[in-house]
């Protein structure tokens, strides 16, 4: 009996003490933001992502179970640039959580200081497909932007838990140092292959391509969000043949039928290249994302150049 | 004589010139000086006016909220106001088009228009309008154009308006404020709201998985208009360790359903109608989930008002059960999915000729077999609200194509067996298209 009541008291104290100690409850929309948040927050926060890395982040179902997660969140970190436009707003609205409403202290748009590419100039219309008027939202695929996201997250966490500011800042500095070193290594690995021409399914890799020197020659999608058409596929095959492009990068959530037929027609290679942490099983954090993608690319480039080379 | 005159004139002229020349040189110099002085004065004045004009322009620009244009400056941008970010709103810096006027545009709500064009082939004696109990025997109709205006009101609330431009005129389909962060975890809506009775009643036309609404909705729940009225709605999550559970209570003015065949009608201020809804949701796996609900609605009906003489006060009570099963493999979520749904509704309508206890249901399934293709079927069965002895049954098959996220083409073959009229075989088709802000996907 005594044991039971002690247990009850202990259990009832757990959530209270967690809050009193200030363990932050962080919800992110994608696993990339969660991975970076883990680097920065260490054990001072519990961090969870709503979307899985192998899921198309444009089309996540706004499940009511997400509402329960958002209801308890101290911080919500989103990718922004309208990536989550189709599913996040109704979840935030129904979360009954004033802390994470847009504009509130607990809401962080991770794109605010990131370098954003492909911001459309001039008049844009939906005839261009599902264009993002605020620029390409797949910006996390550049380690430099990873550092910027980490800085914003650390600042946000420190703002909400001022007592832990030094801890977050120290972890941020450590993460930045490690990421700088890793980036140097990745750039070194990719250096011999700068200028390699590739085709990607969706426009998910502009930041990655720019940082690591890939030349994106075309897209399997005729326009963002529009599935491949026979005519476009034919044009793409011809252009790939003309420019001798061998690599087709496909995000894990797209159908491989068209990419495979393009590969057959051009003698190329289809790479299922995760744009996000969790996109494939082995990619469990932000560092492994680049490790995996760069390994995959280099192996494929070697393979295509030896098979078609002189 | 004449030559003499000429000579004289010349002499005078020459004399004049001769005597005028030293004085004229002085005059010319003075004149030049004067002109120069005038020119300098004019230049100064021009400079002064120019300066004053520039200053005025700058003042004007500041008064209108934009910085004065600087040569070579980049496209001016405005920060997104706090609160407008995220929830359907813009993020990042917004470009300012057209200078002075547009500083205020950042506060404009997200605007979208959804067009819903419907057509019907086939004969239906009972309902010449194939999409409801309306009086239009039209084969083609621009059924509805729904304009939505959505924005954050202030740090505590957001506002949503949906205007429906239908065949009969303009109607406010929904228009409400949502208080997003009330204490006690209450989510409160105030305004004109579609009632939370079951699933179909709360859906706008453009998110229906069919071109029409099920028989049971038309017979028992007021059809397309449905339970939709000025209301106060309060919803609260019920904490428990097992599942998502949400209880909603709504108080309506007391009018529901179409004008000529209302479901509820308020004759007095106190004739309010009420809707209660309990929604449960559980993730079975990460790919599948179950959504279920219990609903109740109560209000006054018009059965006592026959022939202008009020023969008593009569009420209608509705109860309902709904269940939705969804399957969507996460990694191939844009290619394949299945949604199975059903609603069972019981109606107890008190009338001068006695209580009418009817019921109805639909069962429907929709399978997405390619990125842009959906096939579905629906079975219908329902009593009539005012005569429970009459039973209508029906069935439909549906094929939907999405050219993109923003448009939809749908065909539906529908057979309806009416209790008191010949059966109808109809082919219904729909073109739907949306322009403007990207709305949230329905769930």
DSSP letter assigned to residue B441 = P
H runs (alpha helix) in A128-164:
143-160
pLDDT for residue A102: 87
**Count of other CB atoms within 10 angstroms of residue B23:** 9
Q: How many domains does chain A fold into?
A: 2
CB contact under 8 A, A255 and B335: yes
CA B262 to chain centroid, in Å, comes to 25
Query: Could you tell me which residue, B132 or A229, shows the higher pLDDT?
Result: A229
CB contact under 8 A, A126 and B86: no
Residue from the list B92, B330, B404 with its beta carbon closest to the beta carbon of A134: B92
Q: Which residue of A has its CA nearest to B80?
A: A103
A43 & A147 share domain: yes
B22 contact partners, CB below 8 Å, separation of at least 6: none
A94 & A218 share domain: no
Residue A159 near chain B (CB below 8 Å): no
A196 & A166 share domain: no
Residue A222 near chain B (CB below 8 Å): no
A143 & A212 share domain: no
Please state the domain extents for chain B. Answer: 55-65+78-108, 110-436
pLDDT for residue A307: 55
H runs (alpha helix) in B238-299:
none
**Count of other CB atoms within 10 angstroms of residue A133:** 14
Residue A86 near chain B (CB below 8 Å): yes
Residue A13 near chain B (CB below 8 Å): no
Residue A87 near chain B (CB below 8 Å): yes
Residue A274 near chain B (CB below 8 Å): no
DSSP letter assigned to residue A98 = G
B387 contact partners, CB below 8 Å, separation of at least 6: B356
Cα angle A14, A16, A18 (rounded to 5 degrees) comes to 70
* CB–CB contacts below 8 A, A to B: 143
Smallest CA–CA distance, residue B196 to chain A, in Å, is: 15
Chain B residue numbers touching A109 (CB-CB < 8 A): 85-86, 91-92
Residue from the list A87, A92, A227 with its beta carbon closest to the beta carbon of B372: A227
pLDDT for residue B61: 52
Smallest CA–CA distance, residue B436 to chain A, in Å, is: 9
B188 contact partners, CB below 8 Å, separation of at least 6: B178, B179, B182, B232, B233, B234, B235
A154 & A31 share domain: yes
Query: Could you tell me which residue, B216 or B20, shows the higher pLDDT?
Result: B216
Residue where one domain finishes, among candidates A185, A200, A234: A185
% of chain B exceeding 90 in pLDDT: 62
> Does residue A14 fall inside a structural domain?
no
Within chain A, which residues score under 70 in pLDDT? Answer: 1-21, 307-310
Mutant choice from B75, B79, B86, B337 vs A, greatest count of A C-beta within 10 A: B86
The pLDDT of residue B419 is above 50: yes
A259 & A287 share domain: yes
A270 & A196 share domain: yes
Assign residue A240 the CATH number of its domain.
3.40.50.1980
Region B73-91: mean pLDDT is 49
A100 & A174 share domain: yes
Residue A63 near chain B (CB below 8 Å): yes
> Does residue A78 fall inside a structural domain?
yes
CB contact under 8 A, A55 and B330: yes
Residue from the list A71, A80, A81 with its beta carbon closest to the beta carbon of B237: A71
Task: Identify whether the C-beta of residue B299 lies closer than 8 Å to the C-beta of residue B273.
Answer: yes
pTM: 0.81
The pLDDT of residue B69 is above 50: no
Query: A83-128, pLDDT tens digit by residue?
Result: 999 999 999 999 999 999 988 999 999 999 999 999 998 888 888 8
Q: Which residue of A has its CA nearest to B407?
A: A126
For residue B54, name the pLDDT band (cuts at 50, 70, 90): low
Is the ipTM reported for this complex over the cut 0.90?
no
CA distance A207 to B245: 42
Region B159-188: mean pLDDT is 91
Least confident of A27-36, A156-165, B94-103, B255-264: B94-103
Residue where one domain finishes, among candidates A185, A216, A237: A185
Task: Identify whether the C-beta of residue B110 lies closer than 8 Å to the C-beta of residue B128.
Answer: no
Region B418-427: mean pLDDT is 95
pLDDT for residue B56: 66
A101 & A39 share domain: yes
Chain B residue numbers touching A93 (CB-CB < 8 A): 87, 158, 178, 180
Chain A residue numbers touching B330 (CB-CB < 8 A): 52, 54-55
Q: Which residue of B has its CA nearest to A115?
A: B92
Query: Could you tell me which residue, B29 or A8, shows the higher pLDDT?
Result: B29
Smallest CA–CA distance, residue A253 to chain B, in Å, is: 5
CB contact under 8 A, B83 and A103: yes
Q: Which whole-number Å values give the CA distances from A51 to A54, A110, A139, A203, B183, in the listed order?
A: 8, 16, 17, 19, 28
A160 & A193 share domain: no
For residue B440, name the pLDDT band (cuts at 50, 70, 90): confident
Chain B residue numbers touching A103 (CB-CB < 8 A): 81-86, 152, 155
A205 & A284 share domain: yes
Smallest CA–CA distance, residue A157 to chain B, in Å, is: 19
CA distance A74 to A84: 19
For residue B133, name the pLDDT band (cuts at 50, 70, 90): low
For residue B15, name the pLDDT band (cuts at 50, 70, 90): very low
Task: Identify whether the C-beta of residue B313 lies closer than 8 Å to the C-beta of residue B277.
Answer: no
The pLDDT of residue B145 is above 80: yes
Chain B residue numbers touching A102 (CB-CB < 8 A): 83-87, 89, 152
> Does residue A213 fall inside a structural domain?
yes
> Does residue A3 fall inside a structural domain?
no
- Give the HSE-up count for residue A221: Cα atoms under 13 Å, Cβ half-sphere: 21
pLDDT for residue B373: 97
For residue B136, name the pLDDT band (cuts at 50, 70, 90): low
CB contact under 8 A, A92 and B87: yes
CB contact under 8 A, A65 and B281: yes
CA proximity to A68, closest of A9, A27, A123? A27
pLDDT for residue B79: 55
**Host domain of residue A267:** 188-308
Query: A132-175, pLDDT tens digit by residue?
Result: 889 999 999 999 999 999 999 999 999 999 999 999 999 999 99
pLDDT for residue B290: 98
Least confident of B65-69, B213-217, B397-401: B65-69
The pLDDT of residue B13 is above 60: no
A180 & A32 share domain: yes
Residue A227 near chain B (CB below 8 Å): yes
CA distance B414 to B429: 11
pLDDT for residue B306: 66
Residue where one domain finishes, among candidates A185, A219, A238: A185
Region B41-47: mean pLDDT is 75
pLDDT for residue B76: 47
For residue B244, name the pLDDT band (cuts at 50, 70, 90): very high
CB contact under 8 A, A227 and B371: yes
The pLDDT of residue B24 is above 90: no
Architecture of domain B110-436: Beta Barrel (2.40)
């Amino acid at each position: 009996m005594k044991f039971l009541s002690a247990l009850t008291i202990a259990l009832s104290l757990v959530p209270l003490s967690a809050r009193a100690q200030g363990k932050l409850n962080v919800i992110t929309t994608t696993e990339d933001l969660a991975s970076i948040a883990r680097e920065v927050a260490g054990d001072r926060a519990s961090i969870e992502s709503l979307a899985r890395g192998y899921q198309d982040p444009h089309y996540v179902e706004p499940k009511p179970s997400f509402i329960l997660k958002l209801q308890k969140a101290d911080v919500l970190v989103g990718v922004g640039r309208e990536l989550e436009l189709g599913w996040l707003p109704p979840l935030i609205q129904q979360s009954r959580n004033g802390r994470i409403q847009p504009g509130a202290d607990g809401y962080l748009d991770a794109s605010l200081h990131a370098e954003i590419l492909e911001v459309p100039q001039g008049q844009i219309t939906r005839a261009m497909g599902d264009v993002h008027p605020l620029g390409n939202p797949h910006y996390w695929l550049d380690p430099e932007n990873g550092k910027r996201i980490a800085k914003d997250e650390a600042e946000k966490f420190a703002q909400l838990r001022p007592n832990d500011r030094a801890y977050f800042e120290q972890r941020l500095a450590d993460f930045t140092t490690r990421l700088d070193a890793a980036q140097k290594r990745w750039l070194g690995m990719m250096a011999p292959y700068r200028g390699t021409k590739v085709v990607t399914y969706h426009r998910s890799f502009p930041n990655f391509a720019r940082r690591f020197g890939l030349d994106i020659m075309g897209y399997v999608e005729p326009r963002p969000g529009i599935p491949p058409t026979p005519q476009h596929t034919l044009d793409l095959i011809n252009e790939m043949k003309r420019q001798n492009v061998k690599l087709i990068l496909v995000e894990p959530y797209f159908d491989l039928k068209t990419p495979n037929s393009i590969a057959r027609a051009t003698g190329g290679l289809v790479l299922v290249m995760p744009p996000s942490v969790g996109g494939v099983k082995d990619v469990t954090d932000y560092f492994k994302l680049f490790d995996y993608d760069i390994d995959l690319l280099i192996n494929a480039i070697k393979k295509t150049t030896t098979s078609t080379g002189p | 004589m004449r030559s003499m005159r000429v000579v004289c004139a010349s002499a005078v002229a020459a004399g004049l010139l001769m005597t005028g020349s030293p004085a004229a040189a002085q005059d010319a110099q003075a004149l030049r000086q004067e002109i120069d002085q005038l020119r300098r004065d004019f230049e100064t004045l021009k400079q002064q006016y120019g300066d004053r004009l520039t200053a005025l322009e700058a003042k004007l620009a500041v008064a209108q909220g934009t910085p004065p244009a600087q040569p070579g400056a980049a496209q001016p941008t405005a920060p997104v106001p706090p609160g407008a970010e995220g929830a359907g709103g813009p993020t990042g810096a917004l470009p300012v088009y057209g200078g002075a006027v547009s500083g205020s545009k950042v506060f404009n709500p997200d605007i979208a228009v959804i067009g819903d064009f419907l057509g019907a082939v086939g004969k239906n004696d009972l309902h010449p309008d194939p999409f409801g109990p309306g009086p239009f025997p039209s084969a083609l109709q621009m059924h509805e154009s729904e304009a939505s205006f959505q924005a954050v009101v202030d740090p505590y609330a957001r506002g949503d308006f949906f205007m429906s431009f239908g065949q009969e005129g303009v109607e406010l389909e929904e228009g409400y404020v949502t208080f997003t962060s009330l204490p006690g975890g209450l989510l409160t809506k105030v305004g004109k709201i579609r009632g939370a009775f079951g699933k179909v009643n709360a859906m706008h036309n453009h998110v229906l998985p069919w071109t029409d609404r099920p028989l049971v909705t038309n017979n028992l729940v007021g059809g397309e208009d449905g339970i939709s009225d000025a209301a106060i709605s309060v919803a609260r999550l019920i904490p428990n360790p097992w599942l998502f559970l949400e209880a909603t209570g709504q108080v309506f003015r007391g009018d529901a359903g179409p004008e000529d065949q209302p479901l509820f009608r308020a004759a007095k201020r106190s004739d309010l109608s009420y809707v209660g809804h309990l929604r449960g949701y559980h993730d079975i796996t990460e790919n599948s989930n179950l959504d279920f609900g219990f609903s109740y609605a109560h209000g006054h009906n018009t059965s006592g008002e026959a022939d202008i003489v009020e023969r008593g006060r009569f009420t209608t009570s509705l109860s309902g059960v709904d269940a939705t099963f969804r399957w969507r493999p996460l990694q191939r979520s844009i290619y394949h999915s299945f949604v199975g749904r059903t609603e069972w509704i019981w109606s107890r309508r008190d009338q001068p000729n006695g209580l009418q206890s009817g019921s109805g249901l639909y069962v429907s399934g929709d399978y997405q077999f390619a990125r842009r293709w959906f096939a579905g079927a629906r079975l219908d069965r329902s009593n009539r609200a005012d005569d429970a002895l009459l039973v209508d049954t029906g069935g439909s098959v549906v094929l939907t194509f999405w050219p993109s996220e923003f448009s939809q083409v749908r065909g539906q073959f529908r057979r309806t067996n009416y209790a008191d009229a010949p059966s109808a075989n109809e082919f219904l088709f729909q073109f739907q298209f949306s322009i403007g802000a990207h709305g949230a996907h329905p769930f």
